[in-house]
């Protein structure tokens, strides 16, 4: 028998429903040949998600990036949009691809979300919106951000890619702000292979989102606006419907593994873990560890794990405002906390099929 301690460990692994259940769901698609363009599974999935996420309005998209990009476009924004540099490329790219200018706000040093204390000083007469990012399952300061946005008459569109299924003060995370984007990428806690959604407050946004994802088509012979192709197909929707049946169990497994990690690493000098907010029901999407004054730095720990075929991730590194495509326009020194955390943080492997023995193996390497 192979030595499990030599087995590779990926940073994440997609959760999949039983194959026979997925095959059974595909049979009606072969019978109808309706494979995309808002079919029956698309409609079912959207309704089930509204119930699960506790949001009154929701539109499905082919992926999370298209969901965010078209949500911004649907709001007809202009000028500047305040966001965070401590995020995935998609967040800033969606802003720029709408002809808007990102303004980068530094992050909270404790939970790595947009620092609400720094937000107001960045607002100008050109600011029209804020795109905060819930990071690693940590929730932004939604009360402060909401209050500031109302006072300055700004839209708030949350990048909620990391917080599927979470609640804050008993409310679904998609209920905060004017809209929230969810990603259903294969690497996420919940996935539909690829996919995404926008949850939104004002039902009047629905026609604009639908038109934008469907080329601007409003009828068989009418095209009223210039839209894109952002439609989720039936195969994605079928996977989403099935995974929704199992997601709570998957989150439960992740919770147990995250607590196992905490039991091994919490309180170790030079290692910092995110504190949990009692107001949040977490989905345990990621296991971020910050190496700050530890006897080995983040890159050394990353290399030692990689040498043993354990693949952690420097997530997020580098910060968006350090990318080559933005480097000449932004100075990362203006967001020093984000820059520092990006150089210290490592997300350790975490997924439902990981074993406690795997967690021990990873922690042993870090601690020894």
When pLDDT is averaged across residues 164-187 and rounded to a whole number, the result is 98
When pLDDT is averaged across residues 334-344 and rounded to a whole number, the result is 98
In tens, the pLDDT along 262-313 reads 999 999 999 999 999 999 999 999 999 999 999 999 999 999 999 999 999 9
When pLDDT is averaged across residues 43-54 and rounded to a whole number, the result is 98
In tens, the pLDDT along 222-275 reads 999 999 999 999 999 999 999 999 999 999 999 999 999 999 999 999 999 999
pLDDT above 90 (res 336): yes
The CATH architecture annotation of domain 248-367 reads Alpha-Beta Complex (3.90)
pLDDT above 70 (res 74): yes
The 3-class SS string of 216-261 reads: CEEECCEECCCCCECCCCHHHHHHHHHHHHHHHHHHHHHHHHHHHH
- Check residue 5 and give its pLDDT: 62
Quote the percentage of the chain above a pLDDT of 90: 97
The CATH architecture annotation of domain 19-241 reads 3-Layer(aba) Sandwich (3.40)
pLDDT above 50 (res 1): no
In tens, the pLDDT along 133-163 reads 999 999 999 999 999 999 999 999 999 999 9
- Check residue 7 and give its pLDDT: 84
When pLDDT is averaged across residues 195-220 and rounded to a whole number, the result is 96
What region, left, alpha or beta, does residue 203 occupy, with left being phi > 0 and alpha being psi -120 to 50 degrees? alpha
Coil, strand or helix: which one is 284? coil
- Check residue 327 and give its pLDDT: 87
Q: From edge to edge, which strands make up the β-sheet containing 196-200?
A: 57-61, 196-200, 179-183, 155-159, 127-131, 80-83, 101-104
- Check residue 141 and give its pLDDT: 98
- Check residue 177 and give its pLDDT: 98
CATH 3.90.1150.10 domain position(s) in the chain: 248-367
Average pLDDT score over the chain:
97
Tokens (6 digits) for 130: 């804020």
CA pair distance 244, 70, nearest whole angstrom: 25
**Residue 310 CA from chain centroid, whole number:** 23
CA pair distance 310, 70, nearest whole angstrom: 37
Q: Please give the radius of gyration of the chain, using alpha carbons only, rounded to the nearest integer.
A: 21
Bridge partners, 291 (sequence order): 271
- Check residue 3 and give its pLDDT: 54
CA pair distance 245, 18, nearest whole angstrom: 11
CA pair distance 173, 165, nearest whole angstrom: 7
pLDDT above 50 (res 350): yes
* CA-wise closest residue to 86 among 59, 125, 126, 113: 113
pLDDT above 50 (res 2): no
* CA-wise closest residue to 321 among 337, 345, 339: 339
pLDDT above 60 (res 93): yes
pLDDT above 60 (res 184): yes
CATH 3.40.640.10 domain position(s) in the chain: 19-241
Quote the percentage of the chain above a pLDDT of 70: 99
CA pair distance 296, 299, nearest whole angstrom: 8
């Amino acid at each position: 028998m192979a030595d499990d301690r030599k087995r590779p460990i990926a940073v994440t692994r997609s959760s999949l429903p039983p194959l026979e259940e997925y095959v059974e769901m595909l049979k009606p698609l072969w019978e109808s040949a309706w494979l995309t363009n808002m079919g029956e599974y698309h409609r079912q999935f959207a309704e089930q998600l509204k119930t699960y996420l506790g949001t009154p309005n929701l539109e499905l998209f082919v992926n999370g990036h298209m969901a965010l990009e078209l949500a911004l476009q649907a709001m007809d924004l202009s000028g500047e949009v305040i966001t965070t540099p401590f995020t995935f490329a998609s967040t800033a790219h969606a802003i720029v691809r709408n002809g808007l200018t990102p303004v980068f706000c530094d992050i909270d040093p404790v939970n790595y979300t947009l620092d609400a204390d720094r937000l107001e000083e960045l607002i100008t007469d050109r600011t029209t919106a804020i795109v905060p990012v819930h990071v690693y399952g940590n929730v932004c300061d939604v009360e402060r951000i909401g209050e500031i946005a109302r006072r300055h008459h700004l839209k708030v569109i949350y990048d909620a890619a990391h917080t599927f299924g979470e609640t804050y003060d008993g409310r679904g995370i998609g209920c905060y702000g004017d809209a929230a984007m969810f990603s259903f990428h294969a690497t996420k806690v919940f996935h539909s292979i690829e996919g995404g959604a926008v949850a939104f407050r004002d039902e009047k946004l629905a026609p604009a989102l639908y038109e934008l994802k469907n080329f601007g088509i409003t009828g068989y012979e009418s095209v009223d606006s210039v839209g894109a192709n952002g439609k989720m197909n039936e195969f994605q929707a079928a996977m989403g419907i099935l995974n929704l049946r199992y997601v709570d169990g998957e989150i439960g497994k992740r919770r147990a593994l995250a607590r196992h990690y905490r039991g091994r690493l919490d309180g170790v000098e030079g290692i910092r873990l995110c504190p949990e907010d009692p107001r949040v029901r977490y989905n345990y999407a990621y296991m971020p560890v910050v190496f700050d004054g530890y006897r080995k730095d983040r890159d050394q720990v990353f290399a030692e794990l990689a040498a043993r075929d354990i693949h952690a991730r420097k997530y997020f590194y580098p910060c968006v405002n350090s990318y080559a495509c933005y480097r000449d326009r932004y100075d990362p020194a203006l967001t020093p906390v984000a820059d520092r955390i990006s150089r210290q943080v490592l997300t350790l492997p975490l997924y439902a099929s990981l074993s406690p023995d795997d967690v021990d193996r990873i922690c042993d390497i870090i601690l020894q």
